[in-house]
Amino acid sequence: MKKIILSIVAVVALSFTACTTTGSGSLGNILSGLGSQNTINGLLNMVIGHVTISQEELIGSWAYSAPGCAFTSENLLAKAGGSVAAENVKAKLQPAYQAVGVSAANTTFVFNRDNSFSARIDGLPMSGTYAYEPSSGALKLKMPLFSATAYITRTTGGLALTFESKKLLTVLQTVSALSGNSTVKAVGDLSKQFEGVRVGFELAK
């Protein structure tokens, strides 16, 4: 039944590709009569800035659980087809991450109250400071080698930390170069396909 509901939601979303992110044409209103509220909320949680996550919720140790993605607006979520598109993006990311070496065992993030953070991506340690803006979900990471802006969205198992796709490629290229793994072409090819989509990592405590 759940798969049927998600399919209906995706079809209806596709039929409203001209909708805007506010007013009666917003995705939230379009979906208001379809499926369970949990299903609708799950879709809207993938929109950056739709759900506010406090810095207190962000603080702690997080481990990679799956590829993550988020949409930059409700309109783009609708155009893409909602949950169907999200699952397709994650399915394409999975083999690319495996090629690079990202796994639950070697990819973690720790955010501290003093705005410092530490992380391991494919086992490569990195650390620096962060600035988080709950209203927009923007998470600015500053490290000695480079800086990056990530975006925080809520998931059923925790949260997703996502980047603009080219920035994610830069991160993975850096990790691969330092670890001696040169298998990043797959991620580079994928980065060209994700217009309006942020990609990264789903994390769980």
pLDDT cut 70: percent of the chain above it: 63
Q: Which of the residues in the chain have pLDDT under 50?
A: 1-37, 39-40
CATH number of 55-204: 2.40.128
pLDDT digit string, tens, across residues 73-121: 777 566 555 566 778 888 888 887 887 788 999 999 999 999 999 999 8
Reading the block at residue 59, the tokens are 């603080």
pLDDT digit string, tens, across residues 70-84: 888 777 566 555 566
| Per-residue model confidence (pLDDT) at position 154 | 92
**Domain spans of the chain?**
55-204
